[in-house]
Structure 1
């Protein structure tokens, strides 16, 4: 099959219709050859701007719809990209962080012909089914979010030559991967420094997962700030970026360090759980314990009290990742240096 064998698909409609417009009709209306019309429809290679404009007008006027199945056989392109989320299904469906990621990525792809495919990569399937699907020619490129240390995606996607951009810093050894991130270490430092400025001296933290760069970096920033202030750094409980995990970690901290007067929580969802535990224990916020979260999700405005937090610009990061992927797919030069957003503190009533 050649590019000239593309056919038109007639949209489903209740109204009676005649035959679908053909490539020959597009060419005749545009005043170009059939092969020129085909090239214009399939990417504009070796087509003058005037001919491209004439074909575009003819396509729109006739309602011509290329057969993408036939086109993919010619171009070896699927016109689709994958958003890969190596997390359990229930977390993807309940954590607003992922909704923000989809929003940002869709905004980057809006003016393209690319379709977004969501791949929820269960940890046990990543090294087999997920990578087999991604390297099997089913997508043109991928964006990976919520990357874990042992999920092998960075190395395997690099070897497969599938154009890939990560949202979040890959681990050491995977720095060949292009990525977009926020300065999480700086954000953890800013959160802890704010608690120090408000007079807190027994400052704990609830970390993110320690197999994720965001969890490690936010903990490192908290440690930097407290060490610089000459304060202890032993009040640490590990969390998992979920509300239930935040509640469990907060209960652990209160049991082990009942004199704590501040908590930096490495995600807003975990902070929701921590606030509930503090309220149940009779600890007022911010009177007894000041709390700072991370993400600035919509939930930060609905907690009692409203949550002081660090902005994690997930929509903007996903949009930039999508734009980088588009450039890679178009063969444009793309800088290897990561795009890093600056963290920002939003002060509300919890601290």
Structure 2
């Protein structure tokens, strides 16, 4: 006889009610988390559920309360960038930790850097998810920046549009953190400090560049050596070559991500320059990329895993109808290693 013929049918709500000696509606209230159930009844029904190995029908519950029990993680980046940058791995790890106590599942949506595809837009607005988490926001993401007008949304990083009015987001003070990193280079006696900046259409890129400029101006040093990357290793290498060609006398570089910094380090070694002897290098993120090469990067630590966890917890609070803290700014610090 086949397994399909011998397999017992899944227990029903009615069978749980009979086992517990209560009504079907009482079991339904327990399964749906109602507070109108006494501790004694809750324990009795819970024991019956465990004994019968009853699994609530989430689809039926969703139809009843119009919840999908799904959350979208929207990342407006190409696939190679998402899977190649350890920052995203840390954020997703934190989000998964934050969602673990809930019944919500996470759906990944990789969208275009300037605008999501019509398919993604239809999915997000079509009642398929109860809320969304948006990471790596660009200024061209006009649809994503207004998504919170339709469903609950929490951004990872400050969104550019109406950020101070009604958006929920988790971030670090990127300008202050970058200034802290450049202050460290200044304290080492470096005088010609360049930056490999992040994209000029992203708040993190904009703010970290502003922090670099602010620190140099406060120190009375020129802030004229800048090259823009896209947070990738390839762009870090390209920008480092450009800066060296423009200013052979530079003695330090503040890089807006560890991944770009590893690209910069490869070029410096290729040209026979010592680190930090000839040129000091400061990264940003404190990701695995900072310690994955021959040179251990001095970097600005941001708590990426904790940021992801806080994003998830904030969204869950919104979905429960609560009013969580709208803006969460987390602490950064310098992690000193070999490069500066």
Q: TM-score, normalised by structure 1?
A: 0.92
The change in CA–CA distance for 1:254 and 1:129 in structure 2 (over 3 A counts) is same
CA drift at 1:335: 2.6
CA drift at 1:73: 1.0
Which residue does 1:6 correspond to in 2? none
Structure 2: distance between partners of 1:139 and 1:33 = 32
Q: Deviations over 1:29-52 (max 9, x none)?
A: 222211111122123253333323
Which residue does 1:343 correspond to in 2? 332
CA drift at 1:208: 0.5
- State which drifts further: 103-112 or 126-135: 126-135
Structure 1: distance between partners of 2:78 and 2:9 = 47
Which residue does 2:315 correspond to in 1? 325
Q: Spell out the pairing of 1:20-59 with structure 2 (5 A cutoff).
A: 20-44=10-34, 46-59=36-49
- State which drifts further: 84-93 or 151-160: 151-160
The answer to whether structure 1 residue 138 and structure 2 residue 135 are counterparts is: no
Q: Spell out the pairing of 1:285-296 with structure 2 (5 A cutoff).
A: 285-296=275-286
CA drift at 1:244: 0.3
Which residue does 1:129 correspond to in 2? 119
The answer to whether structure 1 residue 279 and structure 2 residue 269 are counterparts is: yes
Contact 1:154–1:177 (Cα < 8 Å) also in 2: no
Q: Spell out the pairing of 1:278-317 with structure 2 (5 A cutoff).
A: 278-317=268-307
Contact 1:44–1:52 (Cα < 8 Å) also in 2: no
The answer to whether structure 1 residue 268 and structure 2 residue 229 are counterparts is: no
Which residue does 2:224 correspond to in 1? 234
CA drift at 1:317: 0.3
2:89 to 88, 94, 99: 99
2:246 to 256, 262, 270: 256
CA drift at 1:140: 1.0
CA drift at 1:156: 2.8
Counterpart of 1:331 in 2: which secondary structure?
Answer: coil
Which residue does 2:73 correspond to in 1? 83
Which residue does 1:68 correspond to in 2? 58
The two structures, once aligned, show a CA RMSD in angstroms of 1.6
Q: TM-score, normalised by structure 2?
A: 0.95
Contact 2:16–2:45 (Cα < 8 Å) also in 1: yes
Structure 1: distance between partners of 2:79 and 2:36 = 45
Write out the 4+ residue segments of structure 1 that deviate beyond 6 Å after TM superposition. none
The answer to whether structure 1 residue 167 and structure 2 residue 156 are counterparts is: yes
Contact 2:115–2:143 (Cα < 8 Å) also in 1: no
Which residue does 1:157 correspond to in 2? 147
Which residue does 2:190 correspond to in 1? 200
Structure 2: distance between partners of 1:302 and 1:48 = 55
The change in CA–CA distance for 1:149 and 1:252 in structure 2 (over 3 A counts) is same
Which residue does 2:103 correspond to in 1? 113
Contact 1:155–1:174 (Cα < 8 Å) also in 2: no
Structure 1: distance between partners of 2:301 and 2:209 = 16
